[in-house]
Amino acid sequence: MKTIDDLGDLRGKRVLVRCDLNVPLDGTTITDDGRVRAAVPTLKKLIDAGAKVVVAAHLGRPKGAPEAKYSLAPVAARLGELLGADVHLAADTIGESATATVGALADGQVALLENIRFDPRETSKDDAARAALADDLATLADFYVSDGFGVVHRKQASVYDIALKLPSAVGGLVLKEVEALRKATENTERPYVVVLGGSKVSDKLGVIANLLGKADRLLIGGGMAYTFLAAQGYTVGKSLLEQDQVETVKGYLALAAERGVEIVLPSDTVVADGFAPDSPHDVVPSTQIPDERMGLDIGPDSIALFRSKLLDAKTIVWNGPMGVFEFEAFSAGTRGLAQAMVDAGEQGAFSIVGGGDSAAAVRLLGFDESKFGHISTGGGASLEFLEGKTLPGIAVLDA
pLDDT at 166: 98
Q: With 80 as the cut, is the pLDDT of residue 334 above it?
A: yes
CA-to-CA distance for 69 and 159, rounded, in angstroms? Answer: 23
Query: Known binder of ligand: residue 204?
Result: yes
The values of phi and psi at residue 11, to 5°, are -60, 125
Give the right CATH number for 179-387 from 3.30.70.920, 3.40.50.620, 3.40.50.1260, 3.30.70.20: 3.40.50.1260
Task: Tell whether residue 358 is among the known ligand binding residues.
Answer: yes
Active-site residue flag, 200: yes
- Give the pLDDT score at 203: 87
Q: What does the pLDDT read at residue 398? A: 85
Active site residue 14: no
Q: Is 295 annotated as a binding residue?
A: yes
In percent, the amount of the chain with pLDDT more than 70 equals 100
Residues 375-398 have a mean pLDDT of 91
Query: Cβ(316)–Cβ(341) under 8 Å?
Result: yes
Q: How far apart are CA 195 and CA 358, in angstroms?
A: 11
DSSP calls for 137-188: HHTT-SEEEEE-GGGTTS--TTTTGGGGTS-EEE-HHHHHHHHHHHTTTSS-
Catalytic hit among 197, 198, 237, 356: 356
Angle, vertex CA 367, rays to CA 185 and CA 180, nearest 5: 20
Q: Supply the pLDDT for residue 63.
A: 93
Q: Answer with the residue of higher pLDDT: 398 or 115.
A: 115
pLDDT score recorded for residue 388: 86
Confidence tier at 290 by pLDDT (50, 70, 90): very high
Active site residue 44: no
Mean pLDDT computed over every residue of the chain: 96
Residue 23 near residue 76 (C-beta atoms within 8 A)? no
Q: CA–CA distance from 216 to each of 23, 228, 239, 313 (Å)?
A: 34, 18, 28, 9
Position 355 pLDDT exceeds 80: no
Position 383 pLDDT exceeds 90: no
Residue 326 assigned ligand-binding role: yes
pLDDT (0 to 100) of residue 392: 97
pLDDT in tens, 257-286: 999 999 999 999 999 999 999 999 999 999
Contact 12, 52 (CB under 8 A): yes
Domain ranges in the chain with CATH number 3.40.50.1260? 4-171, 179-387
Alpha-carbon distance of 139 to 136, in angstroms, equals 5
CB-based contacts of 126: which residues, under 8 Å, 6+ apart?
A: none
Q: Please pick, among 37, 80, 95, 200, the residue that the annotation labels catalytic.
A: 200
Mean pLDDT calculated for residue range 300-315: 98
Interval 15-61: pLDDT, tens: 999 999 999 999 999 999 999 999 999 999 999 999 999 999 999 99
Our answer to whether residue 380 is catalytic in this structure is yes
Q: Which residues fall within 8 angstroms of residue 7, CB to CB, at 6 or more apart?
A: 15, 143, 167, 169
* List 108, 206, 380, 388, catalytic entry: 380
User: Residue 270 contacts by C-beta under 8 Å, 6 or more apart in sequence?
Assistant: 281, 282, 283, 295, 296, 297, 298, 299, 323, 329, 330, 332, 333
**318-331: per-residue pLDDT in tens?**
999 999 999 999 99
Of the residues 13, 14, 18, 35, only one is catalytic, namely 35
Q: Which CATH number fits domain 4-171: 3.40.50.1260, 3.30.590.20, 3.30.565.10, 3.40.50.880?
A: 3.40.50.1260
Q: Kindly report, residue by residue over 163-207, the tens digit of the pLDDT.
A: 999 999 999 999 999 999 999 888 899 999 999 999 988 888 888
78 known ligand binder? no
